[in-house]
Amino acid sequence: MVDLPRKAAARTARLAALPLGYAGRSALGLGRRLGGAPAEQVLDDIQQKTAEQLFRTLGELKGGAMKFGQALSIFESALPEEMAGPYREQLTRLQDSAPPMATRTVRETLARDLGPDWKDKLVWLDGGPTAAASIGQVHKGRWHDGREVAVKVQYPGAGEALRSDLKQLARLARTIGPLFPGMDIKPLVEEVQARAEDELDYHLEAEAQRAFAEVFRDDPDIVVPDVVAVGQAVLVTEWLDSDSSLARIIRDGTVEERNHYGELMVKFLFEGPTRTGMLHADPHPGNYRIIPAKDGSPGRLGVLDFGAVARLPGGKFPEVMGRLIRLTALADKEPLMAELRREGFIKDKVKLDPDLLVDYLSPLVEPTMVERFQFTRAWMREQFARINNPREPTYTVAIKLNLPPSYMLIHRTWIGGIGVLSQLEAEAPFRQILTDYLPGFAEPE
């Protein structure tokens, strides 16, 4: 049993050692190559050891380190295949696990938040955690009314560690970058920093989860457990009877399972804002649970962790999002340019070639241009490689486009969701789902 490492200097030292370890292994690898070892074998060894050190460190530190690791994990499908193989096992393991905190710490936190009579409310509590996340861990329990519950307890010092880690990771973004070729790490760290405070607030999380549980109650496809009790560092919700997460489907699911659960995930991400005015903004596979049907029919999808939620202005996706996607698919250049400028995606005085703009954006909206789209790791890698390649003519577009702050979390969720679909290699009716739930996407009547 371990508690959250709290000394800032120790945490900073471990994070700072990550790029140094990579550099050391690279130098050692060069020596092995000079000694006659095959280049591919040396590279594979370096990547395997780097993956193990990186994600073991992020998982053990929890806090902002693990939160950053989970954010990275949904982009596994975008890594080049020679990188994805060594990293895949470590990434998937991080999505669902972390070392547990001490039992005494858990009980002290429950007493503080639920009161000295907490054992009269929570009449049974499993001794060990059933799951662990970046800032808390979950125990199974039983409430006094007989309901089975999930008891999420925040790690002591989670807030301090979260802020400290993310500040250090922001400083290290450039040196960590070589571990993930084709990905820009700095904006990812900045986005995780921007929503860190919300994720520490269990009262805010409970408010969002109650709203989702209410509108999806008795839904045939989606299950959201309701909130039972909440405190500063404790969140008690109804237990979700599930045997695995979406990570299991990614690892060894059938084609039918991949397509079924991929489609349910997309529907939830787009239907949720329509019904609640909020976007569940943390689409990593560990937050989606598989609920098998007893009669052998396709199962339902359970959704957990409402700490990262975008509260959308006006209670819905911005209508301009749908219009921009539709105009891009139609290659309608002038209206597309005008909308992008009006929304701040193209800043004043920035000049862009309309043809290059459409060439840059069109592949990104391919899933909306056919009745059913097959998401694949190869497609995802192709898009990341294309938009991050300085030798591509469209690269000038990439460095000139601006992402307004109000779209940051929506954009992160959109890319993350597509990343998970690509990990699943799922085929989904993406176009119809957007037609049903994304304002502005359908053709005007």
pLDDT in tens, 53-101: 555 555 454 444 455 555 555 555 555 555 545 445 555 554 444 557 7
Give the pLDDT band of residue 178 (cuts 50, 70, 90).
low
Give the pLDDT band of residue 38 (cuts 50, 70, 90).
very low
Residue 399 near residue 389 (C-beta atoms within 8 A)? no
Residue 141 near residue 259 (C-beta atoms within 8 A)? no
CA nearest to 411, candidates 313, 279, 274: 279
Query: pLDDT per residue over 140-166, tens digit each?
Result: 999 999 999 999 999 887 777 667 766
Query: In CATH terms, is domain 103-157+198-238 a member of 3.30.200?
Result: yes
Question: Mean pLDDT, the chain, as a whole number?
Answer: 79
* Cβ neighbours, 10 Å, residue 130: 14
Give the pLDDT band of residue 185 (cuts 50, 70, 90).
low
Q: Spell out the domain ranges in the chain.
A: 8-98+160-195, 103-157+198-238, 317-437
The pLDDT, as a whole number, for residue 24 is: 39
Q: Please give the helix or strand (H or E) that residue 139 lies within, else none.
A: strand 136-143
Q: What is the mean pLDDT of residues 18-26?
A: 41
Backbone angles phi, psi at 63, to 5 degrees: 50, -145
β-strands 222-223, 300-303: how paired?
parallel
Cα separation values, 381 from 180, 181, 376, 426, Å = 12, 11, 9, 15
The pLDDT, as a whole number, for residue 422 is: 93
Backbone angles phi, psi at 128, to 5 degrees: -115, 155
Give the pLDDT band of residue 225 (cuts 50, 70, 90).
very high
- Sheet hosting strand 222-223, strand order edge to edge: 222-223, 300-303, 288-291, 244-245
Residue 3 tokens read as 């508690």
User: Can you tell me the distance from the alpha carbon of 373 to that of 428, in angstroms, rounded to the nearest whole number?
Assistant: 6
Range name among 42-51, 174-183, 403-412 with the lowest pLDDT average:
42-51
The pLDDT, as a whole number, for residue 6 is: 46
Backbone angles phi, psi at 291, to 5 degrees: -115, 95
Cα separation values, 172 from 53, 65, 189, 376, Å = 16, 12, 10, 31
CA nearest to 67, candidates 307, 409, 415, 420: 307
Q: What is the mean pLDDT of residues 230-253?
A: 93
Q: What is the mean pLDDT of residues 407-413?
A: 81
Residue 288 near residue 265 (C-beta atoms within 8 A)? yes
Residue 332 tokens read as 């309608």
Cα separation values, 146 from 111, 114, 115, 116, 150, Å = 20, 18, 19, 20, 13
Query: pLDDT per residue over 299-346, tens digit each?
Result: 999 999 998 898 998 888 999 999 999 999 999 999 999 999 999 999
The pLDDT, as a whole number, for residue 28 is: 37
Residue 113 near residue 234 (C-beta atoms within 8 A)? yes
Separation of CA 331 from chain center: 30
pTM for the predicted model, two decimal places: 0.77
The pLDDT, as a whole number, for residue 66 is: 54
The shares of helix, strand and coil residues in the chain, as percent rounded to the nearest 5, are: 60, 10, 30
Residue 247 tokens read as 């990570």
Q: Maximum CA pair distance of the chain?
A: 70
